[in-house]
Each structure stands twice: as structure tokens, then as C-alpha cells.
Structure 1
């Protein structure tokens, strides 16, 4: 249902423009994301709109599958009248916000590449940004991996990644003495599809954290169902952050194929 005019919207010749409808509707959905299931009255107060305007935007969001109505939970005795309906984001609605942030990442990296002069300089600038990003992420994991026994480091890394939304697991690799680190979700898959430097930097950081070379076998960004990284069984007598010198070249070579299927 297309939203009609309502109090609190900016108007053009008496009716809000389509972009203004869209912007206000996004604010309604964003408020629900930030504050949890909300009634029309709560949203109206929060966004300084009339309840009639909010209801029209909610009707549109429900028809698009972005939000769904629920009976608002009441604690204590319930007064007379029909209980207020609260509106919550659906899984589809949440994914729409993830895509919006992903697009922001793409736009930012495209700007970095252009600002550096494009071409090889632009790719190098994006790679430097990607390394800085994952290096900061890795610092949060380092202490946990340093405390873990060598044979437990892949599992500990998977648990740390899962807390950051990667739904990661570690398991024995088929027909080998190594392990596979599997990431079943990638919050930046759309960005990594266009900028494989993100996958390459992540692979390099895994190598440093685990103290051995690793090989990226598959990525969601390339169209695979899971991001899969092979960790050799000899992993790791080295401490996290200090891969053996003889394996540094191998780590770099493996990282260079990140984001692509192996030949």
C-alpha cells in the first residue's frame, strides 16, 4: 500500500514527494530497529509525526514484508479496550538494513580507490584499508588465541568470528591432517564481491593469528555457499601473530587467491 499524505511529513504542493515518503518510511523502520517492537503511538512521539501518518507508513511497511504486527505484551493488569499492536521488523526487514550498510562500504571503498588515483594505486589503497580493518578486528581475538592450545586455535577463532556475525565453525578437513574454518555468513559479502582485497586481507590475518600459512578454498563473495579456509595440521606450534618465516610466502600466495575458487 502506498503511503498517502499525513501530518509531520514534509510537503510539496500539499503532498509529500515520493522520496520524502521513502525517507520517512525508512526512519520508521530504523526506529523499530533501534528500539525494538513499537506501537504507532510510540513511533509518533519518537519521530514527531502524527499517529495517522505513522500508521500509513506502517501499513506500507507491512505490505512490503518489512515489519509485522504483534500484540504488545502487557505486564500487570490490562485495562479495557483492544490491546495496542506493536510492530517488529521481519527477517527480511533486518536484511534490508544489512544491505544498506554493505552499500555504504562499497561506496566508501570506491571513493578510496578513486581518491588514490584509480588503477593500481587505487587497488593498493583499498588493500591498505582492508588490512587496517581486519587488523583491528584481529586485535580483539589475539589474546584468546594466545591462551589457547595449538590444537584449539581454529575452534577459538571460529567462536570469535561467530560473535562478530560470521557464523563460523572449525572441523577436520576431509582426507587430510588439517582443519577447515567455515564461515557460513559474511556481513560484507556484497562489498567483497567487488573488492576481493577484503578477502585477501582476512586470509592474511588468519595466517598471522594461527601462526601458519592458510589457504582460502571458497568464498561467499565468489558465489560459494560458505567461506572455507584450509588450515594445515602442522599448524601451529608457533605463537599467534608470528607465522614461520618459511611459510610467509605461502601465506601471501594463498591470500592472493582469496575471493576466488581454486583452479
Structure 2
């Protein structure tokens, strides 16, 4: 969606500034929606297919994104469509210096006061976020889908590039029906890679906020291109023996629930 004020500002900007700004929009969209095809990017951003392909080629050359064959089934003749995700360098391009500073501070805390001190710090930090999010989710009511939507908005505002999509359908052979919560970016990804307490505390907070046990399927900290959390809906509550649905947003699921 274009905003009139922004469009007027863009019109007066130098061509190279416009190119850089549009490339950043493409990179951000891939962070939020990847894996995503060039056609889907063009539709979402209101750009021509040629413009999107030009920016994608540039981002691939810079090693900020990588492409893979899209899982779209049989396409007939021609080359299969490619879907794009952020590379490790792409995630780093979206990160702030805060992540590196946080990692150094946590290493110092662990060395000086032990791992328990790190755990307490992480739980306090996530607890503060949870308390802030709780008020927003309370305003959404008791409906789990509405609460998830409110959580997505809060996470995106705080830099996690969140999105949600349904998983399974009632009345089908799918063993579980629910919502897949995706976080395409993590402001503390490097810290979480070294200190898994962040992911554990965040998952527990999601469970409390949504009033149901959620399951973490993939994480950026474990090398996946997106953090994925499965949220069961009231239609079919998951049983202890039910299989976890496959994660269509990650090529492989690494280190599911910790």
C-alpha cells in the first residue's frame, strides 16, 4: 500500500536513493514473508515484475538473499519459480549493534555470576515484554485467532517481522488444526544462538499469552530461516501422541522443542 505523503517525498528523492529505498523494502518483505516468489513480491509491494527481479538479482549478488525452487507443485513447461529467503548476511544487515553488545554483556554476566544469572536476566526481560503484550492481547478478547493477530502486531512493532497463517483444516485428514506463527527476524538472534534461554522463555511467554501450550518448530538461532511456532486452535486440541505438522516455512526443522 502506498501512502500519499511518502509518494510525494519519493518523487523528489534522487534516483539512487529511490533504488536503495525500494531494495530495502524488498529485503524487508522477504524477511517477513519468505520463502516468497518474485511474482508474489511484485504484487505485495506494488512493483513491476521487472523491477523486483532487478532488485532480487542485486540482493543475490550481495549475498543478502538466496533462492530455492518454490514448492508450488507441477508448473508445466518453463523453469520452476524460485522462492527467496534471507541469507545469514541478510539477517545481519537487518540487525542492530544491540545484538552484538547484548551477547558480549551476557558472556560477561555468565562468567561473573554463572548461567543462572543469565537465565534470570532473560526471564525478566521476556517477562517485561509479556506484561506489555498482555494488555494488547486482553483488548483482543478471548478468541485465540484474534489474540494471535494482536501478538503478531506487537512482535512486528518490536522488530520480529511476524506473520501468521492457518495450518490444517477441520474435517480433513490433518491430525492438527491451528495457527503457524512465523518470525522472520530476531533482534537478538546472535545472543539467542549462544544463550537458548531467550527462545525457551519466549516460547513459554507465548503459551501464557495465548492460553494454550504452543510448540516451537524452528528457530533462527538454530540456523533456520524463520522462527516457527505452532499454536493449536480450539477446534482440534493436540493429543500427546499426535504428530507435529510439517513446517512449510523451513526447508528443514532443526531442534524442534527445547
TM-score by length of 2: 0.52
Q: Deviations over 1:79-121 (max 9, x none)?
A: xxxxxx9xx99969995683532110101111111111xxxxx
Q: Secondary structure at the match of 2:95?
A: helix
Q: Displacement, 1:178?
A: 1.4
| 1:164 matched to 2:158 | yes
Trace 1:106-255 onto structure 2 (pairs within 5 A).
106-116=103-113, 122-149=114-141, 150-151=143-144, 152-174=146-168, 175=174, 176-234=176-234
Flag structure 2 segments of 5+ consecutive residues without an equivalent: 1-11, 25-63, 65-89, 169-173, 241-253
Matches of 1:136 and 1:148, distance apart in 2: 19
- Seen in structure 2, the aligned counterparts of structure 1 residues 126 and 260 have a Cα distance that, compared at 3 Å, is farther
Runs of 4+ in 1 over 4 A off after TM superposition: 88-97
Q: Displacement, 1:226?
A: 0.9
TM-score by length of 1: 0.51
Aligned to 1:261: 256
Whether contact under 8 Å (2:203, 2:215) holds in the other structure is yes
RMSD: 3.2
Q: Deviations over 1:30-49 (max 9, x none)?
A: xxxxxxxxxxxxxxxxxxxx
Q: Which structure has the bigger radius of gyration?
A: 1
Whether contact under 8 Å (1:214, 1:229) holds in the other structure is yes
Query: How many corresponding residue pairs?
Result: 154
